Amino acid sequence: MTSSLDTSDIDRYIGVPLGRSGAVEPIHVNDIRRWAQAMRHPNPLYYDAEYAAQSRFGGIVAPQSFTVVCDAGHGARPALQGKIPESHMLFGGDEWWFFGPRIVAGDMVTVEQMAFDYRLTETRFAGPTIIQRGDNHYTNQRGEKIALQRSSAIRYRPAAARGTGAYAGLEEETEWSDEDLARLNKEKEAYIATIRGLGHGRRSWDEVNEGDELPAKVIGPHSVVSFTTEWRAYTMNAWNTMFREEYVPTEDRGFTAEMSVTGDVDLDPEFGDGAYYGASRGHLFERYARRIGMPRPYGYGASMGAWILDYLSSWAGEWGFVAHSKAQYRGPALTGDVTYLRGTVTGKETSMVAGQGAVNIAYVMTNQKDDVLSKGTAEVLLPQD
């Protein structure tokens, strides 16, 4: 059945540099604050100037997840090369390697991109499916390599996804009572207390043991409002904020007409907004969510990846560092649902970085029904005593 998806146009892009993109102006401290707010990331290191002044950084620094904000396509573009007629896409996962430099206000970050590979498979969600991967190389104005992001895109036919009924029965949102919401707020407060408890202190590699459980983090309930807040925190979604130097222009990826840009973006930039028109409108509008096989509006894959990085880095503390994370996305965060993140230390080993040891972590993201939305592994560096 996979032969029903035409991959002939993809092959010519694999391994071909796509070009360079980035913001047209330096990062502002309020960009960082806006991102922390949108990701519901309550670490004051990323928004409170007085608190951050007492940190090892001496001021507000961007969370490692902010790196994705620096791209003109939140990491998806190199995984979407080549035209597949009457198709759509969802994020399938992210793998990150971080190399050390932190992003701060005043930085100019550029991204070099290249399609990496693809494979054909069958999925319960949409039948014939292509899993395509692409690389994003993030570099600052000093030429320092910040990170490599390898994103995965699930490319499929919406008509096939509607036919499988994989998410049938999930059209109605969960109803949360006042008591339920109060309980969720208590869970959030308990998690925030772990961040504040560590504060500017060090989480030592020597004190961490295999089998240790990371504190659980809850995000939500999600809504169209919260997803819109996320979308507006990506720099690319404000008019004329990004540049793109394309070696290989690939604007037509074969998306269905209703999920494509239909107006003159140069005349009215609203057409290029992404939320109102184009491939991302399914996140915020029930009508278009259902057209692509989702039961109701759903969250952004790039945001799911950010939640993971924020979760890991807050546990590591400001003296720790997420060196590597590899996440597979298995299901959507839907409006009305909440998201839980949990992690377990699976091992420890020496590191090539002087004075730091590596901690291996397995993490899982679920909703309130314990449906798995994402699973992955990470390597976190912590200072040694």
pLDDT for residue 294:
96
The C-alpha atoms of residue 369 and residue 334 are separated, in whole angstroms, by: 12
Q: Which of 16, 95, 89, 86 lies closest to 322 in space, CA to CA?
A: 95
Per 3-state DSSP, the chain is made up of helix, strand and coil in percentages (nearest 5) of 30, 30, 40
Given a cut of 80, is residue 191 above it in pLDDT? Answer: yes
pLDDT for residue 249:
65
The C-alpha atoms of residue 141 and residue 144 are separated, in whole angstroms, by: 7
pLDDT for residue 250:
65
- Average pLDDT value over all residues in the chain: 94
User: Which top CATH class is 2-383?
Assistant: alpha beta
Q: How many CB atoms neighbour CB 30 within 10 A?
A: 11
Given a cut of 70, is residue 1 above it in pLDDT? Answer: no
Measured over the CA atoms of residue 371, residue 373, residue 379 and residue 383, the dihedral's sign is: negative
Given a cut of 50, is residue 185 above it in pLDDT? Answer: yes
- Quote the pTM value: 0.96
pLDDT for residue 245:
85
Given a cut of 60, is residue 270 above it in pLDDT? Answer: yes
